[in-house]
Amino acid sequence: MFDLLVKGGTLPDGTRADIGITGDRIAAVGKLEAEAARVIDAGGDLVSPPFVDPHFHMDATLSYGLPRVNASGTLLEGIALWGELREIATVDEMVERAVRYCDWAVSMGLLAIRTHVDTTPDHLRTVEAMLEVKARVAAYLDLQLVAFPQDGLYRSKTGRQNVLRALDMGVDVVGGIPHFERTMEEGAESLRDLARIAAERGLMWDVHCDETDDPMSRHVETMAREVTRHGLGGRAAGSHLTSMHSMDNYYVSKLLPLIAESSMTAIPNPLINITLQGRHDTYPKRRGLTRVKELQAMGIPVGWGQDCVLDPWYSLGTADMLDVAFMGLHVAQMTHPAEMARCFTMVTETNAQIMGLQDYGLRPGCQASLVVLDAGNPVEALRLRPDRLCVISKGKVVAERSRNDARLALPGRPGSVRRRLG
């Protein structure tokens, strides 16, 4: 007798299986005949482990237009705008916006998020707010908080001190932003410093690294060196890495093996990279996405992050990781069927691996978190970005949507062609 039974789903690898859930764990996967307190009929639809976002800014989300919009559309105006907003936003306002975003995320089957929390202001209201949000949503959504010195570890007078204060308050992950320090040397020194802090405290490390079109922004080289030196391996992630888009190919041929040697991971953020980078170009205008396929070819785990929704840097967004993967697929030209399928894996399993999530997946013993999508397989899910029919988190149904099963029934055409009608 299961508490919940998801009948007749198609798993991401194409196999058909029922999933039996007891408490907050997956109890069995396969052809299951046992009774259940509640049965959910997946009817052949895709049943996936939940979406995971390894890069977000929840202290700034849903603040679009406050105190005004980003007129130039650049990263630097976004940072300046946020610098004003974080001084006037109250803890309650940030909590309300973030919890509302978490509701959106759950409705999209997004059940784990790593969010960078700005530790620049001495008041640390951002940290206070995000710690409260993490506790409030813990029953159904896993939040990882990163101590992120937005204005620089050294460039801001109390930058280093505030990162340590935030970690002491319970923030989980060490951050960094070397390309925003005053000089290349100070950027490199910030990485040596932060890697030591992460190693000494036994924490993960996630750096906004080389988020610039400047091909000479080579901090990822120092980061990989420090990850290797301290043996941080997969506990370390380089976020963005956009300068690799503009680097000389010869230099990249030396850099990729150094990144692979370190075992660190990479988190490009395609919606934001394509929007913010290349703003100083005329034509040809650079895409500003890192070298995704080349990193993957070296065995380096690469996920897709969302970064921003309705904030000083990005004016759109819906908490849908399929939108993120869809953009990444296009910009990185990952159009082979195997590459498209990989894009789906990136926003599920690879992102979970990058965040170090325990018991993630659809195997017996794993945490009972999953999403039923109105699509037949991962590539169709990317094409349609369909309704999430049912979202289960830690053994409980947390979102449901009635099946919009509109189908075209034209003469001479298969009746199974799905369309998002209405």
The residues that are catalytic are 211
Residue 252: both structure tokens together? 């990249």
Q: Based on CB atoms, which residue is closest to Fe ion, 9 or 305?
A: 305
Strands (E), 57-109: none
Question: From the CB of 323, what's the least distance to Fe ion, in Å?
Answer: 17
Side chain identity at residue 112, one-letter code? A
Tell me, what DSSP letter sits at residue 347?
Answer: I
Ramachandran bin of 124, using left for φ above 0, alpha for ψ from -120 to 50, beta for the remaining angles: left
Nearer to Fe ion, 29 or 79 (CB): 79
d(CA 418, CA 403) in angstroms, rounded, equals: 12
Beta bridge partners of 240: 209
Binding segment (CB under 5 A) for Fe ion, from list 230-238, 284-292, 301-309, 359-367 = 301-309
Q: Closest separation between CB of residue 273 and Fe ion, Å?
A: 10
Contact segment (CB under 5 A) with Fe ion among 32-40, 98-106, 131-139, 303-311 equals: 303-311
Single-letter amino acid code for the residue at 129 = A
| Amino acid of residue 395 | G
* Residue from the set 307, 311, 320, 323 that interacts with Fe ion by CB under 5 A: 307
Buried-state track 26-50, b at ≥16 Cβ within 10 A, e below 16: bbbbeebeeebeeebebeebbbbbb
Tell me the window of 131-139, 257-265, 299-307, 396-404 that interacts with Fe ion (CB under 5 A). Answer: 299-307
Smallest distance, Fe ion to C-beta of residue 135, A? 23
Tokens (6 digits) for 191: 């990485």
Minimal distance, residue 414 CB to Fe ion, in Å: 43
Q: Which CB atom, from 228 or from 242, has the smaller least distance to Fe ion?
A: 242
Parallel, antiparallel, or unpaired: how do β-strands 396-400 and 388-393 relate?
Answer: antiparallel
Within positions 313 to 342, which residues make up the interface with Fe ion, using CB under 5 A? none
What is the rounded CA–CA span in Å between residue 234 and residue 211? 21
Q: Nearest distance from residue 59's CB to Fe ion, in Å?
A: 11
Nearer to Fe ion, 307 or 311 (CB): 307
Nearer to Fe ion, 26 or 220 (CB): 220
8-state DSSP, 212: S
Q: Which residues bind Fe ion (CB under 5 A)?
A: 307
